[in-house]
Structure 1
Amino acid sequence: MDRRGTVLTAPGPSGERVVALDALRGIAVAGIALMNVYIYALPPAAYFNPAAAGSESALDWIVWGLSFVFVEDKFRSLFAMLFGAGVAILFERAQQIENGHPLRDHALRMLVLFAIGGAHAILLANNDVLRLYAMAGLFLPLFLRLDTRRLLVMGGVLMVVHVVGGTLIAYQWLSAEPGTQQALLPASAFGANPEALRYGHMVGTESFAERLARRITGFGPALATQVPAIPSTLGTMLVGAGLWRSGLLQGSWSRERCLALARRLALIVLPPLVLLMLVDRWSGFTGAVVGPVSLFWSLPFDLLLAIAYAALVMALFAGRESALRRVLAATGRLSLTNYLLTSAVLALLFYSWGLGLYGTLSRGGAFAIAAVPIALMMLWSPLWLARFRQGPFEWLWRGIARGRFGPIGR
């Protein structure tokens, strides 16, 4: 049994893998591709706002509506939850090892992850989450002495802090005088501002050298935009650690209990998500409304639906062997590599140094293209693990953090 792992792929504290948890990781990394495709295919504002670009038909609007309710930030929340669970697992394993240095080792892992995320952001993905996970993850050990209930409560408290702070920002945007910076910022970032859309088109069609220069010089300001998301990301990670401690992510809950939780949470969160979708529509997709809806007000419901997804997957796959579970588990064991390779595939499809499809597809067409990296990760992951014990970037992350590289092969 493979006892190696990173925060994103760690087996249980005993070293035994929870295969259903690996399958859940696979679903999370595949689900992220369903929204990340818009970062490559359309101007940045279109990620949040269907009125900004890419919505020429009724199908495009249907795709947006279904994505908003069921996809947007749900799988990113799930990925962050699993990150938190992974940290909790590694600390539990460290307690079983004498003369260990769990805090030092954790800090090194986060530093290396930040470096990987930085390279990812500069070379490929404007919306890289690894840097954010590294920054939020640094604070995780401060809370891991809490019991299950307190971990979940603290996660909720941090999410409330995020929503309250975001609501204050939203108030400033909504009450700003037209033409002021406070009014122009959300219009450019989340609205259909013509100048912002032209800039987005220029960025989407730039050369690799132009991108490299732009992202290196803009690295600091881009990173600063992630700092306000640290509380909500940390809160989501704490929820993941709490769900591991509760036994849900260990596969120890009964199928009936998992299904009951999934059903209850879905009934709670789907009406508010539909209402928020309608708020976007009633506002005429004004940037000052679209931004807060996506970044602040929907996030608690995104997290709860992510928990429902986790419970549903554990009900379907815990203790139930199948070919689908094996494929998804292999995909999840290579989650870091698959996350990075998804960016490489989408860059080759949409950027100028690849096929140059940027701006040529509708929202529905771009959504369909996400099937390409998803199919590739599900195809190559089992083949890779048949020969190697971990993914190339998992091996790189672990080796740099530990200061030595073990064999990647079996």
Structure 2
Amino acid sequence: MGRRIPVLDIARGAAILGTLGTNIWIFASLGNFDFLIGSEIEYYISWESFAEVLFLFFMNGKFLGLLTILFGMGLEIKRRSYINNGQQRMWPWLYIWGMLLLLADGFLHYLFVFEYDVLMSYAVTGIIVAFLIGCKPKVIKGVAITLGIIHILGVLLFSALVEVLFRIDEARAEFGLMMQEMSAVYLHGTYWDQVLYRLGDFWGMRSEAIAIIPMNILLFLFGVYIIRSGLLNRSSKESRLRRKKYLKWGLVAGVPLNALMFLPLFSMGVLVRYAFAPVMALGYLMLFYYLHEKRPGLFLFNRLSEVGRTALSCYMLQNIVASILFYGWGFGLGGTLNAMEIIGVWALICIVIMLFAHVWLRKFTAGPFELIWKGLTKLPVTLRENRKTA
């Protein structure tokens, strides 16, 4: 399992660009995330509103869920790599060291670039799951069921609370004022004003990253299960049939469930993003596998694979580019573009990111941040070997 699995690079690249497909609306709205909650607006009365919600139907939460599953798959692949290379003693400690580095990287990215960064949440989840996957299958299953119940109950409670509160004029007005305050900082404040704003409201802005940890653990474990069950085994007829079943369930069940976001209810945005989107994410993963089997040399797949191989660098770079374009200290496009123009900017950034990944990989084996992170991750081993040599 040490070799790369091409379809995982493709799916990872799509997931990176797909997360921007959600985040681009936050950048364009200068930090306002009310579109993630849902709305009473009847989207069919306005072409602009319909274009926005249709785009978010394919993007919102789906690629974040896909990225989370892929992280879990990567964790299991890395564990097997340690075992195959005779480095059992280093697992999970070296991996946890890498996650602590990712936690630090995520904090810096949150503070200096983007307040809805997901790396910190993944780092904490990775540490928990690294210990958990060493337990007996019954224990893992019990933990997964318990966390699943907690997560679903939490989502239902939060969605009901949102539905009730947002029907109270005073609560909606207070939320609107909070969003206006944030937008004012992001439009009129300096870069350092934004940094101080994020630092001053750290726990408030990190609330989603903390709240989704149970869901992250579940999706990490599902990713581990995919690898352990041999679901991606090309030569196995049983695996091929199971992939088709997951593809059907992911899309046949996922599409109508996620289509509930078209209903004029505040609670639907919450339910779709945190409960139904991962189902469709599974369909996306199986769809990428199916299409890659049919057309492995497709130009788009090659470009997505390059983004997947430089995922961390591309994730950070696309947020930096979006910050420069939309925030007041940059080009100040925030709050000035309509839905189609925002989608166009997203497409333009995606092209820039794919071009960067393609050019970079012509000279290097991994992205710039990946190379730094890999070097720092191996630092304890290097220091230990140096001590032994001395």
Same fold at TM > 0.5: yes
Aligned to 2:385: none
Shift of 1:354: 1.5
Given the superposition, is the C-alpha separation of residues 335 and 155 from structure 1 closer, same or farther in structure 2, using an over 3 Å criterion? farther
| Alignment-derived partner of residue 71 in structure 2 | 83
Match 2:253 to one of 262, 268, 274: 268
Structure 1 residue 80 displacement after superposition: 0.6
Q: Kindly indicate whether residue 362 of structure 2 is the aligned counterpart of residue 386 of structure 1.
A: yes
**Kindly tell me: are residues 22 and 68 of structure 1, through their superposed partners in 2, closer, same or farther at Cα, counting changes over 3 Å?**
same
Matched, 1:213 2:196: yes
Q: Normalization by structure 2: what TM-score?
A: 0.85
Aligned to 2:84: 96
**Does the aligned pair in 1 maintain the 2:44–2:50 contact within 8 Å?**
no
Question: Displacement of 1:225 after TM fit?
Answer: 4.3
Counterpart selection for 2:313 from 309, 312, 337 = 337
The separation in 2 between residues aligned to 1:244 and 1:303, in whole angstroms, is 18
Contact 1:347 1:354 in 2 (8 A): yes
Q: SS at 2:365's partner residue?
A: coil
Give the drift of 1:260: 4.7
Cα deviation, residue 347, structure 1: 0.7
Indicate if the aligned counterparts of 2:38 and 2:261 stay in contact, CA closer than 8 A. Answer: no
Q: Deviations over 1:252-298 (max 9, x none)?
A: 566675445323321112222223431xx1x4xxxxx34xx333455
In the aligned structure 2, how far is the partner of 1:345 from the partner of 1:39?
A: 14
> Which residue type is aligned with residue 211 of structure 1?
Q
Q: For residue 116 of structure 2, what is the amino acid of its counterpart?
A: N
- Identify which range, 129-138 or 213-222, moves more after superposition: 213-222
* Contact in 1 for aligned 2:36/2:273 (Cα 8 Å): no
Question: Is contact 1:20–1:251 with CA below 8 Å preserved after alignment?
Answer: no
- In structure 2, the CA distance between the partners of 1:246 and 1:178, relative to structure 1 (3 Å rule), is closer
Larger mean CA deviation between 55-64 and 111-120 belongs to 55-64
Tell me the secondary structure at the aligned position of residue 33 of structure 2.
helix
Task: Give the number of aligned pairs.
Answer: 375
**Deviation by residue 1:297-336 (Cα, 9 ceiling, x = unmatched):** 5533211111111001011114823333222211100011
Instruction: Specify the alignment match of 1:300 in structure 2.
Output: 275
Match of 1:24 in 2: 11
**Matching residue's letter, 1:235:** L
* Root mean square deviation of aligned Cα: 3.1
Aligned to 2:147: 158
Q: What SS does the corresponding residue of 2:212 show, helix, strand or coil?
A: helix
Identify, as 1 or 2, the structure richer in helix: 2
**For the structure 1 residues 48 and 296, does the alpha-carbon distance in structure 2 shift closer, same or farther, using more than 3 Å as the test?**
same
Distance in 1, matches of 2:321 and 2:234, equals 33
The aligned residue for residue 9 of structure 1 is none
Q: Indicate whether 1:362 and 2:338 are aligned.
A: yes
Following the alignment from structure 1 to structure 2, what is the Cα–Cα distance between the partners of residues 209 and 234?
34
Percent identity, please: 24
How far residue 39 of structure 1 moved from its aligned partner, in angstroms, is 1.5
Distance 1:257 1:80 in 2: 21
When residues 322 and 218 of structure 1 are mapped into structure 2, their CA distance, relative to the original with a 3 A threshold, is same
Structure 2, unmatched stretches of 5+, are: 383-390
- Residue of structure 2 in register with 1:286 after alignment: none
CA distance in 1: counterparts of 2:207 and 2:144, whole angstroms:
22
CA distance, structure 1, for counterparts of residue 138 and residue 232 of structure 2: 15
1-structure distance, mates of 2:248, 2:59? 17
Trace 1:95-174 onto structure 2 (pairs within 5 A).
95-99=83-87, 100-145=89-134, 155=144, 158-172=147-161
Aligned residue identity for 1:23: I
Alpha carbons 1:148, 1:246 under 8 Å: kept: no
Q: Would the aligned equivalents of 1:110 and 1:135 in 2 still touch at CA under 8 Å? A: yes
Distance 1:373 1:177 in 2: 34
For residue 358 of structure 1, report the CA deviation from its aligned partner: 0.9
1:103-142: CA deviation from partner (whole Å, max 9, x where unpaired): 2112111111011111111111111000110111111123
**Whole-angstrom distance in 2 between the partners of 1:248 and 1:170:** 34
Q: For the Cα contact (< 8 Å) 1:32–1:76, is it kept in 2?
A: yes
Separation in 2 of the partners of 1:79 and 1:177?
30
Q: Residue 244 of structure 1 aligns to which amino acid in structure 2?
A: I
Q: What amino acid does structure 2 have at the position aligned with 1:328?
A: L
Change (3 A) 1:156 1:305: farther
SS of residue paired to 2:84: coil
User: Does 251-260 or 262-271 show the bigger shift?
Assistant: 251-260
* Of 184, 200, 203, the match for 1:202: 184
* Cα distance in structure 2, aligned partners of 1:353 and 1:158: 42
2:328 partner SS: coil
Contact (CA 8 Å) 1:35, 1:47: kept in 2 or not? no
CA distance, structure 2, for counterparts of residue 366 and residue 50 of structure 1: 19
Aligned partners of 1:383 and 1:341: how far apart in 2? Answer: 14
Distance of 2:354 and 2:158 partners within structure 1: 41
Letter of the 1:123 counterpart: F
CA change 1:188–1:159 in 2 (3 A) is farther
Q: 1:167 Cα shift? A: 2.2
Alpha-carbon distance between aligned partners in 2 of 1:114 and 1:38, rounded to the nearest angstrom: 25
Aligned residues of 1:50 and 1:61 also touching (Cα < 8 A)? no
Number of the residue aligned with 1:312:
287
Give the structure-1-normalised TM-score. Answer: 0.81
* Displacement of 1:175: 5.5
d(CA) in 2 for partners of 1:91, 1:211: 39
Deviation at 1:171, TM superposition (A): 4.2
Which residue, 10, 14, 37 being the options, matches 2:24?
37
Shift in Å, 1:52:
10
Give the secondary structure class of the aligned counterpart of 1:95. Answer: helix
Q: 1:402: how far off?
A: 2.1
